[in-house]
């Protein structure tokens, strides 16, 4: 309920703040689990994907984002679950697999952090293994334009509204199907090809 309300308020805010266009929304399945993988160029990316994804999204979020009490309270209620980036965090993978098992979509930023220059960074090996283990459709999502608005090295002015809004394009690509890779050996074997497919898919939408 709270998630729906925050999405509603968030949509009004972002519509007033930005000119947002969507492409390829038909790629998002109306039901069933999927993993949304996005490029990450700005700290406003997770807000935009959460608010505008056609389905209620549950996103792996860096644990340090929960250092504020308000985020600790609201984060889990709007689909954010923590992952500790400084160590292997099996709990985050367990939660993601559980959510997928319940038919919910999970969002992941495979670069693991924001890009400094707007270009795609190297993807995390563990994330690609997770995609292979999950065995659900993987939908690439390109967030275009947010780097120009709020790059990692800059600041975002949350309260400035302009008549000429900045343009952001959210582009969804065709789903990637990796099939079943239940065993560790199968995942290791499929890793290079899967990595290449994910990189190319995200490049095609950014």
Partner 1 sequence: MSRMEEYLKLESELMEAHQNLLRSEAVLGTVSEYLPMYCGGKLLGYTEVIIEQISGFLLLENTLEFVDKNGKDILHRWDFEQLNSLLISSKAIQIYIKKEGLYQFRLIKDSPKLWEDSLKKSVERFYLVQGLEVFTYQPVIKTRKVTT
Asked if residue 33 binds partner 1 (CB under 8 A), the reply is: no
Give 146's contacts (C-beta < 8 A, 6+ positions apart).
41, 42, 44, 45, 48, 168
The beta-carbon contacts of 89-96 under 8 Å, at least 24 apart in sequence, are: 89/63, 92/60, 93/130, 93/133, 96/58, 96/60, 96/130, 96/134
Among 55, 85, 104, 165, contact with partner 1 (rule: CB under 8 A): 85
Stretch of residues binding partner 1 (CB under 8 A), selected from 32-40, 92-100, 155-163, 197-205:
92-100
Interface with partner 1, residue 167, by CB under 8 A: no
According to CB under 8 A, which one of 10, 29, 112, 175 is a site residue for partner 1? 112
Stretch that binds partner 1, among 109-117, 128-136, 155-163, 193-201 (CB under 8 A): 109-117
96: nearest Cα among 64, 125, 59, 132:
59
Give 22 or 116: the residue with its C-beta nearer to partner 1. 116
- Element containing residue 140 per DSSP (H, E): strand 138-144
Contact, 14 vs 52, CB < 8 A?
Answer: yes
The minimum distance between CB 59 and partner 1, in angstroms, equals: 12
- Smallest distance from the beta carbon of 89 to partner 1, in angstroms? 7
What is the spatial distance between Cα 130 and Cα 32, in angstroms, rounded to a whole number? 18
Site string for partner 1, 38-77 (x = CB under 8 A): ------------------------xxx-xx----x--xxx
* 162 touches partner 1 by CB under 8 A: no
Q: Which among 190, 171, 34, 202 is positioned nearest to 109, based on CA atoms?
A: 202
Q: Is 83 in the site for partner 1 (CB under 8 A)?
A: yes
160 in contact with partner 1 (CB under 8 A): no
Instruction: Indicate the angle between helix axes 45-52 and 2-17, nearest 10 degrees.
Output: 120
Under the binding rule (CB under 8 A), the answer on residue 124 touching partner 1 is: yes
Query: In whole angstroms, what is the distance from residue 195 CA to residue 85 CA?
Result: 20
| Site of interaction with partner 1 (CB under 8 A) | 62-64, 66-67, 72, 75-77, 81-89, 91-92, 95, 98, 112-113, 116, 124-126, 153
């Amino acid at each position: 309920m709270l998630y729906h309300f925050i999405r509603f308020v968030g949509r009004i805010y972002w519509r007033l703040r930005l000119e947002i266009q969507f492409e390829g929304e038909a790629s998002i399945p109306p039901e069933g689990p999927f993993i949304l993988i996005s490029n990450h160029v700005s700290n406003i990316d997770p807000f935009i994907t959460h608010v505008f994804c056609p389905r209620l999204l549950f996103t792996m979020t860096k644990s340090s984002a929960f250092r504020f009490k308000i985020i600790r309270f609201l984060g889990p209620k709007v689909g954010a679950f923590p992952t500790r980036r400084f160590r292997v965090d099996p709990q985050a993978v367990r939660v993601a697999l559980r959510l997928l098992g319940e038919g919910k979509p999970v969002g992941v930023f495979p670069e693991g952090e924001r890009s400094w220059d707007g270009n795609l960074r190297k993807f995390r090996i563990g994330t690609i293994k997770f995609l292979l283990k999950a065995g659900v459709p993987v939908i690439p999502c390109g967030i275009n334009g947010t780097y120009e608005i709020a790059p990692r090295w800059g600041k975002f002015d949350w309260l400035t509204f302009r008549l000429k809004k900045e343009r952001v394009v959210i582009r969804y690509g065709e789903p990637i199907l990796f099939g079943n890779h239940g065993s560790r050996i199968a995942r290791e074997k499929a890793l290079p090809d899967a990595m290449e497919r994910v990189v190319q898919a995200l490049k095609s939408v950014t």
